[in-house]
Amino acid sequence: MEKKTAAAKLSSAVRYICLAIWLGAMIAGVGSYLLYPHWFTADNIAEFLRRFEGEIWLIYLAMSALRGFSLLPSTPLVIAGTLLFPDQPLAVLAVSIGGILLSSTMIYYFSEFLGFHEYFEDHNPELTHKLKAKLEHPLGFLFVASWAFFPFVPTDLVCYLAGTTKMNYWKFITAIFAGELILCSCYVFFGSSLLKFVR
For each of the chain's 199 residues, which pLDDT tens digit applies? Answer: 555 576 666 667 777 787 788 788 778 878 888 898 888 888 899 999 999 888 899 999 999 888 877 778 888 899 999 999 989 999 999 999 999 999 999 888 887 777 666 666 666 677 667 777 778 777 889 989 998 998 777 788 888 888 888 888 999 999 999 999 999 999 898 866 655 554 5
Burial class for 94, CB neighbours closer than 10 Å (0-12, 13-18, 19+): middle
Q: How many domains in the chain?
A: 1
**pLDDT (0 to 100) of residue 128:** 67
**pLDDT (0 to 100) of residue 156:** 82
Closest CA to 64 of 9, 115, 101, 108: 101
Give the sign of the dihedral formed by CA 46, CA 103, CA 173, CA 73. negative
**pLDDT (0 to 100) of residue 8:** 62
pTM over 0.95, yes/no = no
Q: Give the span between the Cα atoms of 150 and 117, in whole angstroms.
A: 26
Three-class SS state of 41: coil
Domain that holds residue 77: 2-198
Cα of first residue to Cα of last residue in the chain, in angstroms, is 66
Interacting residues of 136 by C-beta distance below 8 A, sequence separation 6+: 167, 168, 171
**pLDDT (0 to 100) of residue 193:** 62
**pLDDT (0 to 100) of residue 1:** 54
In the chain, the largest separation of any two C-alpha atoms, in whole Å, equals: 67
**pLDDT (0 to 100) of residue 169:** 92
Query: What's the half-sphere exposure (Cβ side, CA atoms, 13 Å) at 108?
Result: 20
